[in-house]
Structure 1
Amino acid sequence: MDVNSVTGILLASVAIIGGQVLEGGHVGSLLQAAAFLIVMGGTVGAVLLQSPVKIFVNGVRMASWVFYPPENSPQNLIKQIINWSHISRKEGLLALELHIPTAKDPFSKKGLQLLADGSTPEKLREVLEIDILALETHQRQSARIWEAAGGYAPTIGILGAVLGLIHVMENLSDPSLLGSGIAVAFVATIYGVGLANLVFLPIANKLKNIIGEHVVMQEMMVDGFVAIANGENPRLIESRLKGYYI
């Protein structure tokens, strides 16, 4: 689990709720079902309107990366590439075909298959970079649904505030209904701005960082495969790949 994500959410929640309590307010006053329904329903609807279903569903699934990001270990990847390099130098590129089932992901399996098939370094790089571009584009489009939600939520919150004020104006003759209408008005704004800046936009930026790290790992793998295809010395390959991370 990503400790930073958990710590960030807890810290933000404690700061806001704690500030409310210190000011003499009640936590219950921040809980308004009508305001939450307006903001969340309106935001989800707007995001659905602009996004294909496949992109939307994938974006929601990717939210789990905020707490459980995909494992990216450059050191382990370099060790694996160097091992493949030693095998290819000792037994030939065709021997790598036996190691395809042990590869952890489809991308590395495809690279090993291309090596075993005797693809030229240029063709190997061309094919794998197309895969990287396609996957990165799809993932970034999916991550943008959270960025879009962060843009819509504050506006929907203002819409909820206006609806609450309309409700207040309609019931000026009944003072007992004024409090609930004003509460919905202000809490809707809090929900819109709070969700945008404390949830939606941070998730979008976190996902972008994770996607960027994953792309770097794949580019590292491509360089390793090309070096193996060129028959380069494993030590030279290791030295080059270490330049991808600090």
Structure 2
Amino acid sequence: MDKPLLTVSGLTRHFPRGATRVAAVDGVSFHIEPGETLALAGPSGSGKSTVARLLLRLIDAEAGSITFKGEDWLALRGAALRARRRDLQLVFQDSLAAFNPRTTVAQALDMPLRIHGLAPRSERPSRIAALLERVGLSLTLRHRAIHEISGGQRQRVAIARAIATTPSLVVLDEAVSALDVSVRGKILDLLLDLQQQEKIAYLFISHDLAVVRAFAHRVAILDKGRIVEQGEARKIIDAPQSDIGKALVAAIPALPAKM
């Protein structure tokens, strides 16, 4: 049996709150297989986004381990870490805040290609055109500023930027929650198509169990920094065992069988 793409064990991080320190992430453990989608679900403040920041090394863990593609991810430093970052990418919830709004679409997609040395300057326009085609955007958008295009188009650009480096894992931090229902469905379909074509794994962070049930293979439910249950997404959501899982399901008027 192949080893997991990502293994997280005992991940812990505290933050100060007044005179005390509160565990935002408290001994979190999970794994993700190649080409799999694991959802992290939970209410606001449960620690979902802190887990994402720890994985991306945007903040440091206080305890625990992360093994990514067989390497000790937390031990990487400097040039070694920068080189490996191309393999683990992030798509944010707020697509406008994720970019310099005056940057053009082409400039946004050129950056990862340039930073990671993935293509010489002469080849980058054709690579950008291919990325836009992959995410269903017209080449005519390449000279438009990020702030001039729609939210759905910006999120497609964000996905194109993430896949530009051919990552093994993409962290989607509430990446569809700000979109209206029709656009959300199209973005989810795009992500599924990319997963099938490229075998990309996703860590899908969301509070919306209806979307999680339709999109993820497995789910881990967080409450106050701890995973309280995890397993196959449909089984967990159809019959949650934890109090917070039951509360999240109860907050959804009706879970559709398909999206």
TM-score interval, normalised by the smaller of the two chains: under 0.3
Give the strand-richer structure, 1 or 2: 2
Q: TM-score, normalised by structure 2?
A: 0.23
Structure of greater relative contact order (alpha carbons < 8 Å, 6+ residues apart) = 1
Give the helix-richer structure, 1 or 2: 1
Q: TM-score, normalised by structure 1?
A: 0.24
